[in-house]
Amino acid sequence: MKTYTLFAVVVLLPLVARGQDIQISINANGPKHLISPYLFGKNNVLPSTYLNNGGDEEVIRAREAGLKIVRQGGGNNSTKYNWRNKISSHPDWYNNVYVNDWDAAAANLRDQLPGVQGMWSFQLLGKVAANTQNNFNDWGYNRSQWWQGVHQNLAGGGVVNPNGAGKALTEGNPALYLKDWPADSTVAILDHWFGENGLSYDPQFYQFWSMDNEPEIWQGTHDDVMKSQIPAEEFMQRYFKVAKAARAKFPDIKLLGPVPANEWQWYRYGNEEIVWKGKKYPWLEYFILRIAEEEAASGIKLLDVLDIHYYPSSSDPLQLLQFPRVFFDKSYDYPEANGVKTVEGGWNNSITKEYIFERCREWLTKYKGVNHGVGLGMTEYGINTSNADVQALFYASMLGEFMKNKVEVFTPWSWSPGMWETVHLFSRYGLENFLTINGGDQQLVSAYPTINASEDSMVIFFVNRDLNASKNISLTLEGFVPTTTSNLYSLSKLPSGETFMSHTDNALKTNTISSPSSTINITLEALSVNALVLKSQTTAINATLVNNPDINIYPNPGTGSYVIDLQNISSAVKMVEVYNVSGQMIAIQPHEKLVSQKSITLDLSQQSNGIYFIKLVTDKGPYFKKIALHK
């Protein structure tokens, strides 16, 4: 990667009182949870033609950045996709029909991004593209230039209205370019891809399927065939039919829905006031309720990931950098609160706290029970700024909050400079488990710590949202003492153009840290994203032998008394040493191995619960094993 010189940015010293320090503490032995790899995703990576030379820049960046999932349906263009003819009608471009080959894109996923998950979608509208012979002649009209009138329904013989803001003078006939598409047609793509006589794609890499796209606004996006919005219950019936058919063909499928367009649609389905069995419901609560009722009646799982979209309108960086709090923070007053004011059934202008994902979790628990097994996801978002630093910090904050709160899927739609850099930093440097923290500054500075399974490596992401001022951090680590050198990787002062080319050619600034202590003092640049990469001193003992397969210690975890099995140790054992996670020796037991002795008994009943490292000193070198004590 490109190396930049930093001056006095990070220092590791014993704690010294400094004014305005932000105190953060992390306990390596504290509560933790797995981070979903599918938070590191993007829309529209794979070309819809066969890519054989690996030369596509987007695919290369995706591979280098460490993407784990790509959403390829195409948003609004997916709703009328005909997989048999490999064509789709484009509602944002006169409804014209163009070639779009999902088969090729899926093959590119397999060949160019092995191991990455792909996401496509089913069509619930009931109409899909039939042919390309009835397109509006956009080239003849204005050389295919964008103008206000691209929304006019001109495919199928329409007459253009020169007033771009208005409807077509004569709307095209959708019967000329669309055809019926029932549930069995849309789910038959599963047979085509995975069936006995199909393309033999491996279904484990195509598990995620979206239940269409933004159905609450079809009256606007697909008004060629939906002049008035179908009722919410009619949409649910279409959803149930497709979901059941898909589950029957592919039991391990992961279904995402209902994919609402934005904050208003989280609560409102079109202009409908939803009433079910005499009670009013906001859209997502009603959706969850009906899913629960139909699952109970049919015994078929109909939803795996509750999926939403998000497009705030503000361009103010001070506001934008707080917006990631919208999803879980019950104390945050959202400046763009709108649909949430209807959550109680009427209009309450005083409601400004969204916490929409937390609300959905509460509704899922209410209607489906504690063990509902439904994850949370966001498959589109975009913000209104061209500032690469703001893009990077917004994205980093979203990733951090979603890691913290166990979100399963995240694939931004709009993609700007700063975002490749951010996902690369999080995906390629972050570890598999999220740790809880104490302290921080909710508005300006957040810390998102990750730790590996063996608990000997930690990466902490820091986000400083202050537009102008650096921030001093006093970081205290418990149960983890870093080695003598650590690296801090930082993103800040990004230019307006793309800087991320590969894992080794990017805009990351690197600083090497020395003089470790249990307290680390850091200064974060203004408007920066940072990753502090730490290795535990226990790693230095012997990283390759910490879990030496030649040593068997049981029970592990244990309650105090352990047996060390020596049958696979050919050299004489001279000493048994016990270390805590801070690298301190807490016990020593001299021993001479006898030919007839096959084991050693070790008593740690006087020690506190936690992780310990056993070191066997032999005449041929040390052996190490990690154990857990839980009394």
**Is 395:419 a contact under the CB 8 Å cutoff?**
yes
pLDDT of 568 higher than 90: no
358 by Cβ neighbours in 10 Å (0-12 / 13-18 / 19+) ranks as middle
103-126 pLDDT per residue, tens: 999 999 999 999 999 999 999 999
Q: Domains of the chain: which residue ranges?
A: 10-33+435-535, 38-131+181-430, 540-629
Q: What is the pLDDT of residue 540?
A: 47
pLDDT of 2 higher than 70: no
Sign of CA dihedral 3, 8, 14, 20: negative
Give the fold, CATH level 3, of 540-629. Immunoglobulin-like (2.60.40)
Per CATH, 38-131+181-430 and 540-629 having the same topology is answered no
Distance CA 42, CA 194 (A): 24
Long-range contacts of 289-293 (CB under 8 A, 24+ apart): 289/363, 289/367, 290/233, 290/236, 291/367, 291/368, 292/367, 292/368, 293/367
Of residues 456 and 6, more confidently modeled: 456
**Is 551:565 a contact under the CB 8 Å cutoff?**
yes
C-alpha 21 chain-centroid distance: 31
547-564 pLDDT per residue, tens: 677 788 989 888 899 998
190-201 pLDDT per residue, tens: 999 999 999 999
- For the chain, what percent of residues have pLDDT higher than 70? 92
Confidence of residue 595 (pLDDT cuts 50, 70, 90): very low
Confidence of residue 403 (pLDDT cuts 50, 70, 90): very high
Confidence of residue 17 (pLDDT cuts 50, 70, 90): very low
Q: What is the pLDDT of residue 546?
A: 56
Distance CA 428, CA 380 (A): 22
Confidence of residue 268 (pLDDT cuts 50, 70, 90): very high
pLDDT of 414 higher than 50: yes
Q: What is the pLDDT of residue 582?
A: 64
Q: What is the pLDDT of residue 515?
A: 52
198-213 pLDDT per residue, tens: 999 999 999 999 999 9
In the sheet with 599-603, reading across from the earlier edge strand, the strands are: 552-554, 561-565, 599-603
pLDDT of 585 higher than 90: no
β pairing state of 409-410 and 375-381: parallel
β pairing state of 599-603 and 437-439: unpaired
pLDDT of 13 higher than 50: no
Which run of H or of E encompasses 381?
Answer: strand 375-381
Single-letter amino acid, residue 296: A
Least confident of 256-260, 408-412, 433-437, 614-618: 614-618
| 38-131+181-430 carries CATH number 3.30.420.480 | no
The model's pTM is 0.84
Distance CA 39, CA 410 (A): 4
Class of domain 10-33+435-535: mainly beta
pLDDT of 87 higher than 60: yes
Non-local (6+) Cβ contacts of 556 within 8 A are: 562, 627, 628
**Is 247:300 a contact under the CB 8 Å cutoff?**
yes
